[in-house]
């Protein structure tokens, strides 16, 4: 059993979407307790068995076009490079896929809306390590930086993904080789002893258990880079999909979720209900506003936002939001919907149908829940 050595200390409250490999998200109401998601509450997204890596034996290889090969132990990495911490949200690009399933069948894990979390990541800047290996920022032909994980499939293909080199080298993009999550060493599920964190970017690029970093002219040659995490028109099906025709998802679109009240909650007509959730946008774009409606969009309430101070354009962390919304005076079902807007004034599409795609990625339509008003 390749999964026999998977961690046993996972939070029992996590909702398991697949056990082998482990894919689990917390109940959504656990997300709004604090801007920083406790590590044990943080969703787990594994494609393969969790590798067990002896920290003392561990070494990270940096190799590739026009650079010198470096083999860095964790101690050397910590001794030779400055520690940098970044508060960043990581979201799976399949988060909220269940809203697509409600439209039409898709292929992928049935994520609710909690395949997302925010942590304080501690580590070293990827760009500084690449520069130490001699990578010339102006080098012709180097366009991507590939990352390889220690987890591999039956054919020996390691989990791999890549990001554009300009992002990897930009100190303001805050891309990390992280060894800490929320002030403690990474746990095995979250990539111990070292993982990549690419703020503002789909979680699949933040490669866990990273063993090798390779600047290259090409994107990573893995399924996870060249196929899975791409979106197409709702009319493109599995027979006609041309994977090479779409770019790999990197920065993600603005999104939000309603975490409270629970669907089906009972209230009285004209009650003031506290609605809470999260909102986040990719690429470092700040969420500037969240609007909430309980009457089908006739009136909107602007939510209070709670977050961490970050420099404009480096808004890697989500905001939590809260709004008091009056439910209508007539008894019956009440639909509550929300929409977030980011600093580029991008906002969320109203319905999932027009953004449905065969892999079920980047679902960011208005989150909606139904509660019941009764005397």
Q: Which residues bind ligand MTE (CB under 6 A)?
A: 42-48, 90, 92, 149, 151, 159, 190, 203-204, 206-209
Q: DSSP string covering 346-364, please?
A: -B--S-SGGG--TT-----
- CA distance readout (Å), 114 to 76, 86, 185, 263: 36, 21, 23, 15
Structure tokens at 210: 């990273």
Structure tokens at 361: 């990625």
* Cα–Cα dist 293/282, whole Å: 24
Q: Which is nearer to ligand MTE, 44 or 327 (CB)?
A: 44
Q: Which is nearer to ligand MTE, 228 or 291 (CB)?
A: 228
Least CB distance to ligand MTE at residue 7 (A):
11
Nearest position to ligand MTE, beta carbon:
149
Q: Which is nearer to ligand MTE, 11 or 372 (CB)?
A: 11
Least CB distance to ligand MTE at residue 92 (A):
3
Q: Which is nearer to ligand MTE, 149 or 277 (CB)?
A: 149
Least CB distance to ligand MTE at residue 1 (A):
18
Least CB distance to ligand MTE at residue 355 (A):
19
Q: Give which of 126, 116, 174 is closest to 146, Cα–Cα.
A: 126
3-state secondary structure at position 98: helix
3-state secondary structure at position 80: helix
Q: Which is nearer to ligand MTE, 48 or 142 (CB)?
A: 48
The sign of the CA dihedral 210, 196, 189, 123 is positive
Least CB distance to ligand MTE at residue 206 (A):
5
- What residues pair up with 274 in beta bridges, in sequence order? 324
Diameter of the chain measured on Cα atoms:
73
Q: DSSP string covering 223-244, please?
A: HIIIIIS----TT--TTT--GG
Q: Which is nearer to ligand MTE, 10 or 84 (CB)?
A: 10
Q: Which is nearer to ligand MTE, 54 or 309 (CB)?
A: 54
Structure tokens at 14: 């996590």
């Amino acid at each position: 059993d390749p999964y026999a050595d998977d961690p046993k200390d996972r939070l029992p409250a996590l909702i398991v979407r697949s056990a082998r490999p482990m894919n689990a998200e917390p109940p959504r109401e656990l997300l709004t307790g604090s801007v920083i998601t406790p590590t044990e509450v943080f969703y787990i997204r594994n494609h393969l068995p969790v590798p067990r890596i002896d920290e003392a034996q561990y070494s990270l290889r940096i190799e590739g076009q026009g650079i010198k090969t470096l083999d860095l132990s964790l101690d050397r990495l910590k001794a030779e490079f400055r520690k940098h911490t970044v508060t960043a949200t990581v979201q799976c690009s399949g988060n909220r896929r269940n809203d697509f399933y409600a439209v039409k069948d898709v292929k992928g894990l049935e994520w609710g809306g909690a395949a997302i979390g925010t942590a304080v990541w501690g580590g070293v800047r990827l760009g500084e390590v690449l520069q130490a290996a001699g990578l010339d920022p102006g080098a012709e032909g180097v366009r991507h930086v590939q990352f390889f994980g220690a987890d591999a499939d039956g054919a020996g293909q390691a989990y791999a993904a890549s990001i554009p080199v300009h992002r990897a080298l930009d100190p303001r993009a805050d891309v990390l080789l992280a060894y800490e999550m929320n002030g403690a060493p990474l746990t095995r599920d979250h990539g111990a002893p070292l993982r990549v964190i690419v703020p503002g970017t789909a979680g699949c690029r933040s490669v866990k258990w990273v063993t090798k970093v390779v600047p290259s002219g090409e994107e990573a040659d893995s399924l996870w880079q060249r196929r899975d995490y791409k979106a197409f028109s709702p009319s493109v099906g599995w027979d006609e999909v041309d994977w090479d025709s779409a770019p790999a998802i990197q920065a993600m679109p603005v999104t939000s979720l309603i975490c409270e009240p629970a669907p089906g909650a009972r209230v009285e007509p004209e009650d003031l209900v506290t609605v809470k959730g999260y909102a986040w946008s990719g690429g470092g774009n700040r969420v500037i506003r969240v609007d909430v409606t309980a009457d089908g969009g006739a009136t909107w309430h602007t939510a209070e936002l709670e977050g961490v101070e970050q420099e404009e354009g480096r808004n890697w962390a989500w905001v939590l939001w809260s709004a008091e919304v009056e439910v209508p005076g007539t008894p019956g079902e009440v639909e509550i919907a929300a929409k977030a807007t980011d600093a580029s004034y991008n906002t969320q599409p109203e319905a999932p149908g027009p953004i449905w795609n065969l892999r079920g990625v980047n679902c960011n339509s208005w989150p909606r829940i139904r509660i019941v008003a009764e005397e």
